[in-house]
Chains A and B, each alone.
Chain A
Amino acid sequence: EIVLTQSPATLSLSPGERATLSCRAGQSISNSLAWYQQKPGQAPRLLIYDASNRAAGIPARFSGSGSGTDFTLTISSLESEDFAVYYCQQCSKWPVTFGGGTKVEIK
């Protein structure tokens, strides 16, 4: 199965700062990568699919980039509601796999 490694595990930032989250795949997955946001006690929420397409209703401060094995989720200016855990997920090959998550916390 394709292993996804997310870094860092925790990102401590202040509101208004830029967040850069990384996801590395164990083998090439083309652009078959999605990003999800999860807040405590809630279901995940789709942010980005096909590596760079924003899902419906997602603010423009969220952007995704990358292809092959290296991907990045960028939040251009953190809002209070953006502090959460972020997961990447590949849908290139079965089984579908998720990364271990990056927690974005308030500094």
Chain B
Amino acid sequence: EVQMLESGGGLVQTGGSLRLSCAASGFIFSTYAMNWVRQAPGKELEWVSTIFTVDTTLHADSVKGRFTISRDNSKNTLYLQMNGLRAEDTAVYYCAKWLDSRGSIYDHWGQGTLVTVSS
């Protein structure tokens, strides 16, 4: 059974940093592109970052230069380093895996971790 468990969320001041983790199991982690998707309170979903199997990364313009996605295939873990946090980064952050190599179809999601940025 595929499982993904996020951790690392919490309350942080504006300008601060957090590192989110997503521990995955039940599938061959190293063979799937992995992603972070966030959802601000009461808002729609927003793609944040993707890391491919060869460690190529993509980030949304809204987080480019501040957030860094990475992975450790030996630990089956996905990360999101978030620096320079802003109030508008307040959201539940989900990790999600691709269905397969055809593209960004997210077939499994973690339960999410809440990040609150406050002054």
Contact = CB atoms under 8 A, between A and B. Distances in A.
Interface of A: 32, 34, 36, 42-46, 49-50, 55-56, 87, 89, 91, 94-101
B98 to A, nearest CB: 9
Contact of A97 (B47, B102, B107, B112): B47
Contacts of B87: none
Given A43-B94, A46-B99, A49-B99, A98 B107 contact: no
9 contacts: A34-B105, A36-B106, A43-B109, A44-B109, A46-B107, A50-B102, A95-B60, A96-B50, A98-B46
Contacts of A94: 58
A91 B45 contact: no
Given A46-B107, A55-B107, A101-B44, 4 more contacts: A32-B103, A36-B106, A43-B94, A50-B105
Contacts of A45: 109
**How many B residues are at the interface, by size bracket?**
20 to 34
Given A34-B105, A91-B104, A99 B44 contact: yes
Nearest to A94: B58
B109 A96 contact: no
Contacts of B46: 98
B104 A96 contact: yes
A89 B45 contact: yes
Closest 8 CB pairs of A and B: A43-B109, A91-B104, A96-B47, A98-B45, A91-B103, A49-B105, A96-B104, A46-B107
A95 B45 CA distance: 13
Contacts of A101: 44
Instruction: Indicate the member of B94, B103, B105 with the most A CB atoms within 10 Å.
Output: B105
